[in-house]
A and B are shown apart, each in its own frame.
Chain A
Amino acid sequence: MTIRLEEVTRKMGAETHIFPTSMELKSGSLNVLLGHTLAGKTTLLRLLAGLDRPSSGKIFVDGVDVTGASVRQRNVAMVYQQFINYPSFTVFDNVASPLRRAGVSPQEIDQRVRSVAKSLHIDALLDRLPAELSGGQQQRVALARALVKEAGLLLLDEPLVNLDYKLREELRQELRAIFRRRESIVVYATTEPTEALLLGGHAFVVDEGRILQSGPSIEVFHAPASERVGKVFSDPPINLIGGRVTGRSAVLGDTISMDLPDHMTLLDEGAYRFGVRANFLNVRRQSDRDLEIEGCVELAEISGSETFIHLEHHGVSWVAQEEGVHSFGLGDTVSIFVDPDHVYAFDGSGRLAACPPYEARGGG
């Protein structure tokens, strides 16, 4: 099965939720829609599902125009951010309901429900009502109902957002394994760059109703086509600072100067904006070539086993991500270091001008 959007738009009154968008998704592919909240991810999913009708443009499934077809005639399954189950049905009946509607024989229903329940570890809960389950289990039921159908198009709208951290990690791993075994087109919407990277597959960076960039997740991550993509596909957002390239050297801001690293040697002279991911900023010097940014600590937040240090340097805020739990006093003067090989350069219109080298197969 392939699904193709052709110049699809979606308007609500005077507001445009989706600007003309075209995309093509193939069977067995895992597609991640990555974008901030209100970027239009959900709207795109709803258009793909057929829950909403595009304001203009066409949708084709296997070459057949399905633009006006209702959701019942489409071969789709969907999982929402909220835990959506039928509260008056038991877990078994919940999972079985799409099969019952499709007229599958009772023996087959029983067998398929039990096998999918087993793979999602809810086989012991089949006789319970959804209200008697924990949030994680409820979402597993919703996932089971979407998976059991074996629809050609499986849509997941931030399915793990309402779960706590541990459960999210666990379920994400399982989902990744499940998606690998599937023939269907999987479309997974998320706001988290890490999730997009962990799931792999094909990333579509969505922002303000447009697809900014698409490609294999890792490539998009390493080579964001624009500043905006860099911001969306980076958590915490990529540090950006204006600067200039003159001759063989560059100045970041007004104070930090560096010799042009290899990937920037071809840059023309002029104004650029330079980007550094927070994880490449270290509090310890790694090599002699490192640039030093000295600043005053504005905030140090500890998240899990990492510390985010917010630093002010000549009127520009920097965020550095450090492994481990560190404590910094507010107002302390701290130096952070970055290897010039990890600096992005974006041109005046925000397009990527120089991209740090990366191994295509390497992890993020």
Chain B
Amino acid sequence: MRIQKRTIGLIVYLVLLLLPIYWMLNMSLRSNADILNAFALYPKDPTLTNYVKIFTEESWYSGYVNSLIYVSINTAIALLTALPAAYAFSRYRFLGDKHMFFWLLTNRMAPPAVFLLPFFQLYSTFGLIDTHIAVAISHCLFNVPLAVWILEGFMSGVPREIDETAYIDGYSFPRFFATIFVPLIRTGIGVTAFFCFMFSWVELLLARTLTVTNAKPIAAVMTRTVSATGLDWGLLAAAGILTIVPGALVIWFVRNYMAKGFALGRV
């Protein structure tokens, strides 16, 4: 009986959690007129026109393309800079190492909006406004420290003797790093990539401010549906569903390791 009660409780919880997403899916499959006309628990006359519109109109799908481009660039930069940094923090003692390590994390303590003005001013000066790289670099502000922290945790879990054994065996540092060390922490790299992806994908403020049209992210594009005739609910819901998809896919791949990532690799 107790197990049944728990099962029922969990089902109720799951339904509550999934309700908004289901509702969005429901709306995305109906036309705007239908949504405004009648209340329906499921689409009586399902239509894919909303999705078709997103995939055929350049102003729509370019939002996804832009988002994916800067998110990918950001993840790559974050990983490439954080890997050597995390290795140094995990393996060497140097003057101020602990302070520097902590300082990295303090970058995450201020809301990104604080950095908005300096970023905007700086990127305007260098002519970087409305480029993918501008958004990617600005997101490094909070992704690189996080990546360093997560990777450092994973790297510290690898015994230092493995490094030494490799040197004794005659490996050069780059070869050791690429062929022995990276495979050892590939879980950590995957989790780190996921976190970078996620933060960059959902971040709206910096992404919207630093772009105009050429690198406009999908979240900013979605605000376009506000027109004189009101909101196009169906279209907005379809865009929302499509925005969830990449995140869900990435989560699926790292689902078994996420807890370790949230613990910054220190489990």
A: residues with CB less than 8 A from B are 49, 51, 70-72, 76-78, 80, 82, 84, 86-89, 97-98, 101-102, 145, 149
Residues of B within 8 A of A149 (CB): 169
Complex CA distance for A87 and B169, rounded to whole angstroms = 15
Residue of B nearest to A96 (CB): B169
The reply to whether A84 and B171 form a contact with Cβ atoms under 8 Å apart is: no
Contact B165 A84 (CB under 8 A): yes
A84–B184 touching, CB < 8 Å: no
Q: Contact at A78–B168, with CB atoms within 8 Å?
A: yes
Q: Which 3 A-B pairs have the closest CB atoms?
A: A101-B170, A88-B183, A98-B169
Q: Is the CB of A82 within 8 A of B159?
A: yes
CB-CB < 8 A to B23: which residues of A? Answer: none
In the complex, A151→B186 CA distance in Å? 32
A71 to B163, CA, bound (A): 12
Residues of B within 8 A of A145 (CB): 165, 169
B94 to chain A, nearest CB (A): 14
| B107 CB, min distance to chain A CBs, angstroms | 31
Q: Are B170's CB and A87's CB within 8 A?
A: no
Q: Given the complex, which residues of B lie within 8 Å of A70, measured CB to CB?
A: 167
Q: State the CA gap A148–B180 with chains docked (Å).
A: 19
Q: For the complex formed, measure the closest distance between the CB of B4 and the CB atoms of chain A, giving whole angstroms.
A: 40
Instruction: Select one of B161, B167, B180, B183 contacting A71, CB under 8 A.
Output: B167
A88, B169: Cβ atoms closer than 8 Å: no
**Within residues 149 to 183 of chain B, which ones have a CB less than 8 A from any CB in chain A?**
159, 161-162, 164-172, 180, 183
Residues of B within 8 A of A76 (CB): 168
Distance in Å from the Cβ of B144 to the closest Cβ of chain A?
A: 26
- A80: chain B residues within 8 A (beta carbon): 161, 165
Cα separation A71 to B171 with both chains bound (whole Å): 10
User: How far apart are B250's CB and chain A's nearest CB, in angstroms?
Assistant: 23
Out of B162, B170, B183, which one reaches A98, CB within 8 Å? B170
Q: A97 near B169 (CB under 8 angstroms)?
A: yes
Closest Cβ of chain A: how far from B214's Cβ, in Å?
Answer: 42
Chain B contacts for A102, CB-based, 8 A: 170
Closest Cβ neighbor of B182 among chain A residues: A88
CB distance from A161 to the nearest CB of B (A): 14
Are B184 and A71 in contact (CB-based, < 8 A)? no
Is there an interface contact between A72 and B170, defined as CB atoms closer than 8 Å? yes
The residue from B159, B161, B167, B184 contacting A88, defined by CB atoms under 8 A apart: B184
Question: Smallest Cβ distance from A289 to chain B, in angstroms?
Answer: 53
